[in-house]
Amino acid sequence: MAKTRVVVVDDSALVRSLLTEIINRQPDMECVGAAADPLVAREMIRNLNPDVITLDVEMPRMDGLDFLSRLMRLRPMPVVMVSTLTERGAEVTLRALELGALDFVAKPKIGITDGLKQLAEDITEKIRTASKARIRRVVVPPVASVPLATSALGSAAAAMHSPAASTSAAGQASQFGGLGRAALPTIGRLSTEKIIFIGASTGGTEATKDVLIHLPADCPAVMITQHMPPGFTKSYAARLDSLCRIRVAEARDGERVLPGHAYIAPGGFHLSVERSGANYIARVTDGEPVNRHKPSVEVLFNSAARVVGPNALGVMLTGMGADGAKAMRVMRDAGSFNIAQDEASCVVFGMPKEAIAHGAAHEVLSLNRIAPRLIERLRSAGGIGNRV
């Protein structure tokens, strides 16, 4: 069987050496080239025709994002970002995912040698997944036009949630998936009983965004487990909050789960839902990984089945593996209404495929149909507390 051919792009000679060693230890892949900057990488890609590249974010001669943007326009291919675990690194990494990178590895700021060796399994798994992924062509605003500072994201979020925001929304339709904010359908009344649960992994940061930006401000609460490491989910939530009609934030343990809000599992912690009297509350807990993941979709979806039952709506988006598939079937048995993303619109048709195989999904839909179907289902549900 042919090996996956990888080109490593990083300005650190140490990182290039370590990644090359990690890749070449795998029987199914080989590092065919290592470049110190994007201009050298460009020639390597042209001459060596790799299957996957790993790309550092901050490099000399050409910014990693600029290189990625050009690469995805001219020669789309699987890219795994190698990101520093800093606030700035997290924001730039999220921008890279918007530009078409499939996944990322968070390299440690100190102890780089031991840190990367400990991440060897994660690195090679992401490369292996990337080699099999569906590459999407991305049309997004230029790199410089997207604010990266958290303060800028916060300002954008405040403006977007203000009463005046809807007046300029229609003109921003192309930026938000083709549907102007003013044109978003409403559900009709806030539901404190129903909750939407979303699980996602590889490719899921953008897929989740594509669902959330089409949900109206009066939709039920949304609880999300996206496989992400610690240090990235805060920036991810802020970015989503700047784009959506609903409020989006990292979940906090013990907070009340409210309509019109989305709660993202913090990286490195499990998220679940509990009942406290008449209210739902978010439970954020430490603990062992489940299905090798923390946060795990299995944990969230099992709590949905146990606590929310027929008032739950489950959505399984793109991702490698089977995390959450069995629990989504438990949700269905408890009366929930479930949707799985279809293969054609998935970056990786792993988690939805497993959910479908377990008989967990009522419907299998393309990504652009999921939010409208949720809204349609909620509007036809007949009021608060009714079965969906």
Which CATH number covers residue 188? 3.40.50.180
Cβ contacts of 322 within 8 Å, gap of 6 or more: 291, 350, 351, 354
| Cα–Cα distance for residue pair 361/277, rounded to 1 Å | 30
pLDDT tens, N- to C-terminus, the chain (388 residues): 789 999 999 998 999 999 999 999 999 999 999 999 999 999 999 999 999 999 998 777 788 899 999 999 999 999 999 877 667 778 888 999 999 999 998 877 667 788 778 889 999 999 999 999 988 665 544 444 333 333 333 333 344 454 344 333 333 333 334 444 445 667 766 567 899 999 999 999 999 999 999 999 999 999 999 999 888 999 999 999 999 999 999 999 999 999 999 999 999 999 999 999 999 999 999 999 999 999 999 999 999 999 999 999 999 999 999 999 999 999 999 999 999 999 999 999 999 999 999 999 999 999 999 999 999 999 887 543 444 4
Question: Of 70, 103, 132, which residue constitutes the final position of a domain?
Answer: 132
Nearest to 373 by CA among 351, 329, 347, 342: 342
Q: Do residue 49 and residue 111 come from a single domain?
A: yes
Q: Confirm whether 176 is domain-assigned.
A: no
Q: What is the CATH number of the domain that holds 40?
A: 3.40.50.2300
Give the structural domain span for 126.
4-132
Q: Measure the CA–CA gap between 38 and 34, rounded to whole angstroms.
A: 11
Which residue matches tokens 């805060």? 234
66 is catalytic: no
* SS3 of residue 154 by DSSP: helix
Q: Number of C-alpha atoms within 13 angstroms, CB side, residue 203?
A: 27
26 and 124 belong to one structural domain = yes
- Note the pLDDT of residue 190: 55
Shared domain check, 368 and 295: yes
| Catalytic entry in 201, 242, 272, 336 | 201
Q: Are residues 111 and 258 in the same domain?
A: no
Cα–Cα distance, 57 to 84 (Å, whole number) = 8
From the candidates 214, 227, 270, 293, give the one annotated as an active-site residue: 227
Task: State whether 228 and 368 are in the same domain.
Answer: yes
Q: What's the CA gap between 146 and 93, in Å, rounded? A: 13
Instruction: Report the C-alpha gap between 280 and 277 in whole angstroms.
Output: 8
- Asked if 267 and 342 sit in the same domain, the reply is yes
- Asked if residue 384 is part of any domain, the answer here is no
Query: Which helix H or strand E contains 252, and what residues bound it?
Result: none
Is 235 annotated as catalytic? no
In a domain, 104, yes or no: yes
Cβ neighbors of 358 (< 8 A, separation 6 or more) are 325, 326, 328, 329
pLDDT at 9: 95
In angstroms, what CA-CA distances link 171 with 144, 242, 247, 274?
Answer: 20, 16, 21, 40
- Note the residue count of the chain: 388
Q: Are residues 198 and 318 both part of a single domain?
A: yes
Question: Percentage helix, strand, coil, to 5, in the chain?
Answer: 40, 20, 35
Asked, for residue 259, whether it belongs to a domain, the answer is: yes
Together in a domain, 218 and 353: yes
Residue carrying structure tokens 């899921």:
204
CA distance 51 to 133: 11
Domain assignment present for residue 140? The answer is: no
Of 100, 132, 164, the position where a domain reaches its end is 132
**Statement to judge: residues 319 and 196 lie in one domain:** yes
Q: Cα separation of 28 and 124, whole Å?
A: 10
Question: Is there a domain that residue 229 lies in?
Answer: yes
Residues 329, 235 share a domain: yes
Q: Is 159 part of any domain?
A: no
**pLDDT, position 216:** 94
Please state, in angstroms and as integers, the Cα–Cα distance from residue 151 to each residue in 138, 256, 311, 353, 384, following that order: 26, 25, 36, 39, 37
In 3-state terms, what secondary structure has residue 209?
helix
Q: Residue 182's pLDDT is what?
A: 43
* Domain co-membership, 204 together with 107: no
Tally of domains in the chain: 2
Of 241, 323, 336, 345, which residue is the catalytic one? 323
| 323 classed as catalytic | yes
Residue 214 shares a structural domain with residue 361: yes
Residue 126's identity, in one-letter code, is K
Residue 162 lies in a domain: no
